[in-house]
Amino acid sequence: MGSVKDLEIITPPTENSTGQGRFIFSDRYSVFDWGEMPDHIPDKGASIALLGAYFFERLEDMGIKTHYVGLIEDSKCKELNKLKGPSNIMEVRLVRVLKPEYTDNGYDYSIYKSQRGNFLIPLEIIYRNSIPEGSSLLKRMNRGEISPETLGLSAPLQPGEKLEKPVYDVSTKLEITDRYITWQEAQEIASLSESELQEIHNLTDRINRLITEEFARIGLNNEDGKIELAFDPDRRLMVVDVLGTLDECRFTYNGIPVSKEIARLYYRKTDWYHAVEEAKKKDRMNWKALVNTPPEPLPPRLKELISLVYKTCTNAITGKEWFPAVPDIQDILEELRDFLA
């Protein structure tokens, strides 16, 4: 079980063949690496599954390999256009997850040097089209951890800045607390060749452009997002997990967040959030044990508005009314302003 979705393994993967599994997308959500929060967002799981399926099917049409098989309805695996109603269960091909060993000197990624294929690449690939308020990239730059030159920029970043061209960032994926790393370190720990690294950049660029264009159709800006990749048994890149959803991306409408960022902004005003930040500074590995106060539930109306945001975006992007009687995104977001002011 993950913080927001569960995995049912039907057939486990082997070194030379993919397995069969199902993601059960829940109504749970997570912010700031906390894990399951006290609330559930109604219909969030089905919204994510439907939108993720839409983008997987678009990628397959573009000739991009994915682990997606279909959505489950009436015990059958179906394409999106064959569903009679919403589904929160997605069938996928499974690859091996090879976790790096933790030692006194940090994480040991040497296991990847001997592997040919059929495994999750232990990286999270992030694209950034702009720098919204609260961007981790801006925080890292202000702390002196990275420089504009590192990102191919000529000047420091400013909050709200729209980038002339996307910046591609990378972090670890399988450590207790993910950390941002350089592309050189990413290449080393995942044992990637130069051509594989270039292919990852090209693939991320194509996916970014697709998601950006799709959400521009409904008036939303694609600020940033993440993807995950694996090698299939023949060491061909394959898009895995899920992509293009309000959990994996950060979208805005006239500056208002349209994603999981809504909950992040609300919780940033709480004592719990400040306790989390202080704990992470003290102990990156065991910080949760240092946070004595759990997060409070969301205000009921805010939770309802977040649910509506997920549902209306899924309806609009897929072009089908999976969730009836949902208000327009503009009306929902105007009310959200009061909570985020």
The boundaries of the domain holding residue 257 are: 5-340
Count of the separate structural domains present in the chain: 1
Distance set, CA 311 to CA 12, 23, 44, 55 (Å): 33, 19, 7, 16
Read off the tokens for 83. 């569903």
According to DSSP, the residues that pair with 231 across neighbouring strands are 119, 237
According to DSSP, the residues that pair with 257 across neighbouring strands are 252
CATH number of domain containing 221 = 3.30.470.20
- In the DSSP assignment, the letter for residue 81 is G
Would you mind telling me the total number of residues written for the chain in this entry?
A: 341
Buried (b) or exposed (e) across 184-213, using 16+ Cβ within 10 A? Answer: eebbebbbbeeebbeebeebbeebbebbbe
First-last CA distance in the chain:
35
- Indicate the burial class of 63 (C-beta count within 10 angstroms; 0-12, 13-18, 19 or more): exposed
- Indicate the burial class of 38 (C-beta count within 10 angstroms; 0-12, 13-18, 19 or more): exposed
pTM value is 0.92
Phi, psi (deg, nearest 5) at residue 110: -65, -20
Q: How many CB atoms lie within 10 A of CB 73?
A: 15
* Per-position pLDDT tens, the chain of length 341: 567 899 999 999 999 999 999 999 999 999 988 989 999 999 999 999 999 999 999 999 999 999 999 999 999 999 999 999 999 999 999 999 999 999 888 899 999 999 999 999 999 999 999 987 767 888 888 888 888 787 777 777 788 788 888 999 999 999 987 899 999 999 999 999 999 999 999 999 999 999 999 999 999 999 999 999 999 999 999 999 999 999 999 999 888 888 888 998 899 999 999 999 999 989 877 899 999 989 999 999 999 999 999 999 999 999 999 999 999 888 898 888 877 77
Distance set, CA 210 to CA 50, 54, 104, 207, 222 (Å): 17, 12, 42, 5, 10
